[in-house]
Amino acid sequence: MRKLVLFISILVTSSQLFSQNCFITVTPMDTTVCPGSPVSVTAMASLLNSNQSFNFNTSSIPAGWTTSGGLGFAPPCAPASPDGTAFYWASTTSSTPAITTASFDIHCPGGYVTFEMIYANTFTSPCEQLDQWNEGVALQYSTNNGGTWTTIVYYTWNGTVLTSIPTATTPGASGTTSMSSWGSYTVPIPPAANTTNTRFRWFQQNTSGNGYDNWGLDNIVINAMGGSCSDNVDLVWSNGLTGDSNTLISGAPGSDSTFTIAVYDTNGVYQCSSAPITIHVYDDNLSYNLQDYAYSYCPTTNPSVQATNITGAIPPYTVNWTDIPSTNNPQALPTGGAEHDTITYHVTIADGCGFNRQDSVILIVNKLLNIDSLVPYNASSCNNDGAVVAYVSGQTTIPTQPIYHWNGPGATNPSFINSTVWTNRSPGWYYFLVTDNVCTDYDSVQVEPKNPPMAVISANPLAGCDPFDVVFQNNSQNATHYLWTFGDGTSVTTNDLSSQTHTYSSDAQIMLVAYDATNCSDTTYISVSVQICGCTDPLAENYDPTAVANDGSCNYPQPVYNVPNIFTPNGDSNNDYFEIEAINYSNIEFTIVNRWGNLVYQGSGLNPKWDGKINSTLADDGVFFVTFKITNIKADKIYEGQTFVHLVR
């Protein structure tokens, strides 16, 4: 269980008893704690000096005190003081009332100014009450013999406590208040006022004039309690503890307990006692209200639930939804987007003592509004004779009617209708939405064409040399008659799928329109192109660089060649090789043998040649036999021959 530690400042709740010579403050006087939690109670006491407790029983002000305004001790319009003795009565004259103390040594920290005060309680002079916001009385202090004053508290006509004197006159009084009878007031001494030379005064800055806004004061105690000021007492706690004025009692009570504190001087003489101090221990009585079920009739609606009337426990209270998670109260329960579901959400409710309760709320998601089905009625390809129908259930018709919304074809089509039926529709996608005062549902459906005509065409060939014939095949479906347009200004109408043959000398685009019995149509296109034909071989005599197709018309020239009958391989760079000079050829091949028929050289290529050597040795002068083959440019014909050649060095 969580521990709640209470160390309560003296400014909160205290028990204060005083006589002329004894003053005790106990903090706190009453408190309530969690079971097992530590409790701290502080008692401070002091014996007052004779000049720190004052009354006006002798119908005079104490020595060293001063007043302004009227001064009286037998007022005509205030009830007797609580102890039945004379008291100071501040009445308005030519100046505003105030009563100022002598200077005190209150250098010890802490302490209080305690007094009894009353405001006049009628609406006529000389007892007219303080009835404007700025006509109240301020308690002030000065540490420079009255040169400057600092406001500690200010009491308005209705008892509201401020920290400064207001300038506004409103709000004004409308009847008697708590200030219209005697009250006891305890004001902590500010730290800045704890000096060896401090004065106090009760000061009224504003009045309505002579005989108005009067007030009374009695039984004043000015007491500093900390430090050395509390060294002159001993405390006796009724639970057996003893000590000085700073004695601290602490512990972890398990049940209610009550005790008092007695004050003795250092000689053991009893001076006074505190009022009874009670410590209450909380029981585990946490209770609350929380619904068992929550309902959502739309997946986008998250219902809100709340734990209410949390009582019987100490705050702060916490509500923890463990499945969400969240500590909100109230809390929206997510549906998770489901249209139909049952979800349990667990919650822990706890108080400041750690007492807690485990609970849960069952969320029932039941989407009522529903599009049961969308039915399409297919349309003819060329006639808007289709339809769409929506079947809807679960509408909440009170207080508003559902709104039906068809639109299409296509999700962004601006055409729409507020109905469950839409007739005279063309093929395409249609979108339906229904909205009532609870939810929204949506769906879509496609209206398809009923056996539309489909024009399909093929052609062979698609390209050729001018002129060329093309055969067109009609592969159309669901049609009864056809229109051919051949792209050269001619057309033909047929009632069957027969092929068409047409001759072209230039490029053309052919169109086929297929019609059904209602003249609904479909159209398709195909293109044919006429090519530039000619000789595309650059080696041919009639090569045409603009031709893109070879028409087989290329002409090639015959080889022209010269076979020498003598050569002189003597290294003078003149006729050093045997070679065949030729034009209009693609290959030369020749073989050379000596007079005994032995091979001395064999070569082929575009320019084979013999340097006159046999096995790297220059052959002797003589006659050699040559056999040759020359291939034409097209490489489809070979020219052969033989001859003799003389090698001369």
Average pLDDT over residues 607-623: 92
Which of helix, strand or coil describes residue 52?
helix
What HEC string does 444-475 produce? EEEECECCCCECCEEEECCEEECCEEEEEEEC
Cβ atoms of 560 and 584 closer than 8 Å: yes
Which of helix, strand or coil describes residue 641?
strand
Give the model's pLDDT for residue 531.
84
Cβ atoms of 282 and 1 closer than 8 Å: no
User: Between these two residues, 433 and 280, which has the higher pLDDT value?
Assistant: 433
Distant-in-sequence, close-in-space partners of 370: CB < 8 Å, separation ≥ 6? 339, 392, 393, 394, 441
Average pLDDT over residues 22-46: 74
pLDDT band at 513 (very low <50, low <70, confident <90, very high): very high
Amino acid (1-letter code) at residue 18: F
Nearest to 71 by CA among 215, 180, 222, 219: 215
Q: What is the pLDDT of residues 211-236, one digit of tens each?
A: 788 899 999 988 876 666 666 677 88
Burial of 537 (0-12, 13-18, 19+ CB in 10 A): middle
DSSP string, 571-623: SSSSS-SEE-EEESEEEEEEEEE-TT--EEEEEEESS-EE-SEETTEEPPSEE
Nearest to 333 by CA among 365, 356, 380: 365
Edge-first strand listing for the sheet containing 30-33:
30-33, 277-281, 257-259
Q: What is the pLDDT of residues 128-186, one digit of tens each?
A: 788 889 999 999 999 999 999 999 999 998 889 999 999 998 888 777 788 888 999 99
Give the model's pLDDT for residue 11.
29
Which CA distances in Å does 363 have to 247, 296, 335, 370, 417? 57, 7, 8, 20, 36
- Tell me the backbone φ, ψ of residue 61, rounded to 5 degrees: -90, 155
User: Between these two residues, 502 and 80, which has the higher pLDDT value?
Assistant: 502
Q: What percent of the chain has pLDDT over 70?
A: 89
Is residue 119 pLDDT above 80, yes or no?
Answer: yes
How wide is the angle at C-alpha 262 spanned by C-alphas 257 and 264, nearest 5°?
160
Spatial separation of the C-alpha atoms in residues 403 and 422, rounded to whole Å: 14
Is residue 271 pLDDT above 60, yes or no?
Answer: yes
Is residue 505 pLDDT above 50, yes or no?
Answer: yes
Q: What is the pLDDT of residues 368-406, one digit of tens each?
A: 999 999 999 998 878 888 999 999 998 886 666 778 888
Average pLDDT over residues 30-36: 77
- Which spans in 391-505 are helix H? none
In the DSSP assignment, the letter for residue 19 is -
- Which spans in 286-365 are helix H? none
Spatial separation of the C-alpha atoms in residues 389 and 383, rounded to whole Å: 18
Which of helix, strand or coil describes residue 197?
coil
Nearest to 298 by CA among 389, 431, 434: 434
| Chain mean pLDDT for the chain | 86
Burial of 590 (0-12, 13-18, 19+ CB in 10 A): buried
Average pLDDT over residues 603-619: 92
**Cis peptide, bond prior to residue 79, ω within 30 of zero:** no
Q: What is the pLDDT of residues 334-352, one digit of tens each?
A: 999 999 999 999 999 999 8
Is residue 73 pLDDT above 90, yes or no?
Answer: no
Instruction: Work out the widest C-alpha separation in the chain, in whole angstroms.
Output: 177
Cβ atoms of 201 and 150 closer than 8 Å: no
In the DSSP assignment, the letter for residue 10 is T
Place of tokens 């000689």: 267
Is residue 555 pLDDT above 70, yes or no?
Answer: yes
Place of tokens 């202090």: 141
Among the residue ranges 17-31, 67-81, 239-253, 509-523, the one predicted with the least confidence is 239-253
Can you list the domains of the chain with their CATH numbers?
6-48+229-281 (2.60.40.10), 50-223 (2.60.120.260), 287-366 (2.60.40.10), 370-447 (2.60.40.10), 457-531 (2.60.40.10), 560-647 (2.60.40.1220)
Q: What percent of the chain has pLDDT over 90?
A: 50
Q: From the CB of residue 528, how many other CB atoms can be counted at a distance below 10 Å?
A: 22
Partners of residue 647 on adjacent β-strands = 567, 622
Spatial separation of the C-alpha atoms in residues 56 and 88, rounded to whole Å: 6
Cβ atoms of 579 and 611 closer than 8 Å: no
Paired tokens of 130: 């303080």
Average pLDDT over residues 524-528: 95
Give the model's pLDDT for residue 266.
73
